[in-house]
């Protein structure tokens, strides 16, 4: 398989058919990311390690806690129902976007000159429940396996007085590798289900067979898209980290000055900067997801021996035989 051809063709497809950006944004609704934060202490009269907060922030926390205590219980019920409805909407839009990306990339690879939003969106309904069921099935199996693993490690740690915890790091590495392999097979299974119009189990079987028969190319492509996608995502999200600087400065200087106004100014400045950059972040992540999904779709097509459509030149009349 020609990796350069797959990667370059995927980019040309995404750049030519910008409707895929929209579906990339939708596909991000079922994506996930993680983050962390760290804090430090200074000689300002309180100890972070002791759980204390700066007085300005502590006042905000106390006011928020009082507001929560005075809120009627039915408000929390409505909030919970709203969160469930929003989660269902995100799941629907996310899987619809993923299906449309596969369909759109496949159609462009077959020579389609134009991809319509309504066409791709409506066509995705045909595959939605199967793609959702496939991902739900794999997710439940992985969740059950992790639950069994955690419970087993808990009882082993008790039975061996903690000695079993020494094996936790190598076991965690093995679990990470297995989870990565499953995600690659699942990616191919999603593409197979949509591209070949298969059922849940047939799609999963086709994804596994494709990965098993082409271990080398699949591994190389997974590394390229995995590492490259992570670096590109980090670059796109880097300004968000810089946005936290005004908030941090507001907290520090607000505490030193004992002023809630300085703290509020820092938080508002950070919020405004985040709001200004948020559209760029969303579009950038959408383009990245569209490109990665398109590359996996083309990878599956090439591994299955499906030749891309090419624009034929003018026909040349055959040379008459002189025999």
What pLDDT, in 10s, does the model give residues 196-216? Answer: 999 999 999 999 999 999 999
Residue 287 — pLDDT band, cuts 50, 70, 90?
A: very high
Please give the Cα distance from 138 to 159 (Å, whole number). 31
Q: What's the pLDDT at 246?
A: 67
- Mean pLDDT lowest among 46-55, 58-67, 84-93, 214-223: 46-55
Half-sphere exposure of 91 (CA within 13 A, CB side): 13
How much is the average pLDDT of 115-133? 93
Higher pLDDT, 317 or 299: 299
- Mean pLDDT lowest among 15-19, 83-87, 311-315: 311-315
Higher pLDDT, 153 or 84: 84
Identify the helix (H) or strand (E) that includes residue 266.
Answer: helix 260-303
Residue linked to tokens 């579906």: 23
Residue 305 — pLDDT band, cuts 50, 70, 90?
A: confident
Q: What's the pLDDT at 37?
A: 38
The DSSP secondary-structure symbol of 31 reads -
Please give the Cα distance from 14 to 105 (Å, whole number). 8
217 closest CA partner among 290, 299, 294, 102: 299
Higher pLDDT, 259 or 98: 98
Residue linked to tokens 């009269």: 45
Q: How many beta carbons lie within 10 A of that of residue 104, not counting itself?
A: 28
For 1-55, how does the pLDDT look when each residue is reduced to its tens digit (9 = 90+)? Answer: 788 999 999 999 999 999 999 999 999 998 644 334 334 444 434 343 444 555 6
Q: What's the pLDDT at 307?
A: 58
Whole-number percent of the chain with pLDDT over 70: 77
CA distances from 137 to 90, 143, 184, 201 (A): 18, 10, 15, 10
User: Radius of gyration (Cα) for the chain, nearest Å?
Assistant: 26
Q: What's the pLDDT at 151?
A: 87
What does the mean pLDDT of the chain come to? 81
Please give the Cα distance from 302 to 297 (Å, whole number). 9
How much is the average pLDDT of 168-182? 86
- Burial string for 237-250 (b: 16+ CB within 10 Å, else e) reads eeeeeebeebbebb
Global pTM value: 0.78
| Position 190 pLDDT exceeds 90 | yes
| Position 128 pLDDT exceeds 90 | yes
Q: What's the pLDDT at 185?
A: 95
Q: What's the pLDDT at 69?
A: 78
């Amino acid at each position: 398989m020609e990796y350069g051809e797959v990667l370059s063709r995927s980019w040309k497809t995404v750049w030519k058919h910008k409707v895929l950006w929209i579906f990339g944004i939708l596909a991000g609704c079922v994506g996930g990311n993680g983050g962390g934060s760290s804090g430090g202490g200074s000689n300002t009269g309180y100890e972070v390690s002791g759980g204390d907060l700066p007085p300005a922030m502590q006042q905000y926390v106390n006011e928020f806690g009082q507001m929560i205590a005075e809120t009627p219980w039915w408000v929390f019920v409505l909030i919970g129902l709203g969160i469930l409805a929003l989660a269902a909407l995100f799941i629907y839009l996310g899987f619809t976007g993923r299906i449309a990306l596969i369909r759109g990339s496949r159609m462009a690879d077959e020579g389609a000159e134009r991809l319509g939003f309504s066409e791709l969106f409506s066509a995705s309904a045909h595959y939605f429940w199967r793609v959702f069921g496939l991902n739900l099935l794999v997710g439940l199996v992985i969740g059950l396996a992790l639950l069994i693993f955690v419970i087993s490690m808990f009882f082993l740690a008790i039975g061996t007085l903690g000695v079993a915890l020494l094996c936790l790091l190598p076991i965690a590495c093995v679990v990470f590798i297995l989870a990565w392999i499953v995600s690659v097979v699942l990616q191919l299974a999603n593409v197979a289900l949509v591209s070949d119009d298969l059922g849940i189990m047939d799609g999963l079987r086709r994804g596994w067979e494709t990965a098993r028969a082409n271990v080398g190319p699949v591994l190389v492509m997974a590394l390229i898209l995995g590492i490259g996608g992570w670096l590109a995502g980090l670059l796109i999200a880097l300004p968000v980290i810089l946005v936290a600087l005004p908030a941090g400065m507001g907290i520090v200087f607000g505490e030193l000055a004992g002023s809630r106004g300085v703290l509020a100014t820092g938080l508002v400045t950070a919020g405004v900067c985040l709001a200004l950059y948020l559209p760029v972040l969303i579009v950038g992540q959408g383009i990245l997801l569209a490109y990665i999904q398109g590359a996996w779709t083309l990878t599956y097509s090439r591994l299955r021996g499906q030749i891309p459509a090419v624009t034929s030149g003018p026909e040349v009349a055959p040379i008459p035989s002189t025999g």
